[in-house]
């Protein structure tokens, strides 16, 4: 997984209600999440080793992914995806909430 800020921005829902959390805290709002990513200076390289998707209906899903850090250790990401005509992501899907650890 790379640290492509523009690509990650495109996958997260626009607006002030989008949230992203990790052990350092919670960031609220698409612009604030963008600013956080730019300011952190990159994320450690990792690869996805397992993914589970639970559909919550035709327009919502929860995705849980296990990641392996290239320096060793594992991580976990949980994302809530929602489909909407206003989302710029693939087929209108975008992340509305994410937790990364």
State the pLDDT at residue 21: 97
What residues pair up with 22 in beta bridges, in sequence order? 25
Contacts of 85 (CB under 8 A, 6+ apart): 92
pLDDT digits (tens, 9 = 90+) for 9-43: 999 999 999 999 999 999 999 999 999 999 987 77
Is residue 82 within 8 A of residue 55, CB to CB? The reply is no
CATH of the domain at 30: 3.10.450.50
Owning domain of residue 79 = 5-100
Q: Total domain count for the chain? A: 1
Tokens of 76: 């976990």
Q: From CA 83, how far away is CA 96, in angstroms rounded? A: 10
Q: What's residue 98's pLDDT?
A: 98
The Cα diameter of the chain in Å comes to: 40
Looking at residue 2, its pLDDT comes to: 61
Nearest to 14 by CA among 86, 80, 91, 62: 86
pLDDT band at residue 45 using 50, 70 and 90 as cut-offs = confident
> Is pLDDT larger for residue 69 or for residue 52?
52
Residue 86 burial (C-beta neighbours within 10 Å; 0-12, 13-18, 19+): exposed
């Amino acid at each position: 997984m790379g640290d492509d800020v523009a690509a990650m921005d495109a996958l997260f829902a626009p607006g002030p209600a989008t949230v992203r959390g990790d052990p350092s805290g919670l960031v609220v709002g698409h612009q604030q999440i963008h600013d956080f990513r730019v300011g952190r200076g990159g994320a450690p390289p990792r690869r996805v080793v397992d993914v589970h998707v639970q559909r919550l209906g035709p327009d919502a899903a929860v995705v849980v992914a296990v990641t392996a850090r290239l320096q060793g250790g594992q991580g976990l990401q949980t994302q809530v995806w929602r489909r909407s005509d206003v989302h710029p992501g693939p087929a209108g899907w975008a992340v509305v909430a994410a937790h990364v650890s």
